[in-house]
Amino acid sequence: MHWKVKVLTQFVLSRLPAGEQINYRLQILNGSYSDATITHRIPIIAKRLAFLYRHRSVQSAKVLEVGTGWIPLNPLLLHLLGADEIHTYDHVRHLRFGSAKRSVTALECAIPSLVAALPVDEASLRRRLEPLKHASTLDELLARARIIYRAPADACQSGLGEKSVDLFYSYAVLEHVSREVVIGLTKESGRVLKPSGIAFHVIGCQDPYNGRGVSKVDFLQYPEMAWKFFVKNRISYHNRMREKEYLGIFTSFGAEIVASQNEIDPKDVELVRHMKVDKRFSGMTPEELAVNRCDFIYRFAA
């Protein structure tokens, strides 16, 4: 029942002029942006970045990040790892100085775990982090981290020069935009990436309304019309796209997959086998439907 209340609440808020701000306050009360949540996210993001590092360092890189969000852990981590310039885009100006400062504090506490997870030395992390601790405004903090925050802005039309970007990056974003936006971002990555550049996308394909330990595929049973009406809105949007669909879009625009990985819970495979899924997913195997997270690294031929 809890998930139905959440769906209905976000559906109503999406219709209100100040709905996003109200939703933000509710998320704070729910602990979504708490210090504990920020701390919990850091090793998870570091694990994904370790996968990226098997194929490309971010040292001295020019980065285009899609979807800054409320908590700027990703651009801050990219800076700490040596990125030279991070252009980060969001459709709404979510970022606040308080959340950015708390992220810096959490990252300082997480330095030992970052050193253990990533090919970076502690001295370099501390040297890059130190100036951020003493920033007194959001603009100052971002400038010291070499982060160019663009919001409201459209990453599909980034305004960056052709063949000027080393890394096109998104973390838990593509599942929250439409298929058309995924296509637009893929096209833009092809335009802005250098011949030596790569794109890296971490995508969550799991049911956004079921908690840890519960089925990650339950949402596949609902008719697309109902899902579109109640969930595909400016606050709670989730496209339900599967790994196979993202792969199809990337490769259809000429992307070469450098590496990929996914997560599948065997219990979800069995659930899908015996569950009536919406016709929108017809033709996909239980294994394809049960993917709950996928990471893609791709590039374009010179």
Q: What is the count of structural domains for the chain?
A: 2
The dihedral over CA atoms of 246, 248, 254, 259, expressed in degrees to the nearest 10, equals 60
Tell me the residue type at 229.
Answer: F
4 and 89 co-located in one domain: no
* Cβ neighbours, 10 Å, residue 252: 10
25 and 149 co-located in one domain: no
| Domain at 179, CATH number | 3.40.50.150
pTM to 2 decimals?
Answer: 0.92
For residue 44, what are the contacts with CB-CB under 8 A and spacing of at least 6? Answer: none
79 and 165 co-located in one domain: yes
Q: What is the pLDDT of residues 52-92, one digit of tens each?
A: 999 999 999 999 999 999 999 999 999 999 999 999 999 98
Do residues 86 and 78 make contact, with C-beta atoms less than 8 angstroms apart?
yes
3 and 120 co-located in one domain: no
Q: What is the pLDDT of residues 249-289, one digit of tens each?
A: 999 999 999 999 999 999 999 999 999 999 999 999 999 99
Number of H helices, E strands in the chain: 13, 7
21 and 131 co-located in one domain: no
Nearest alpha carbon to residue 132 among 111, 158, 160:
111
16 and 148 co-located in one domain: no
Domain hosting residue 14, numbered range: 1-32
260 and 148 co-located in one domain: yes
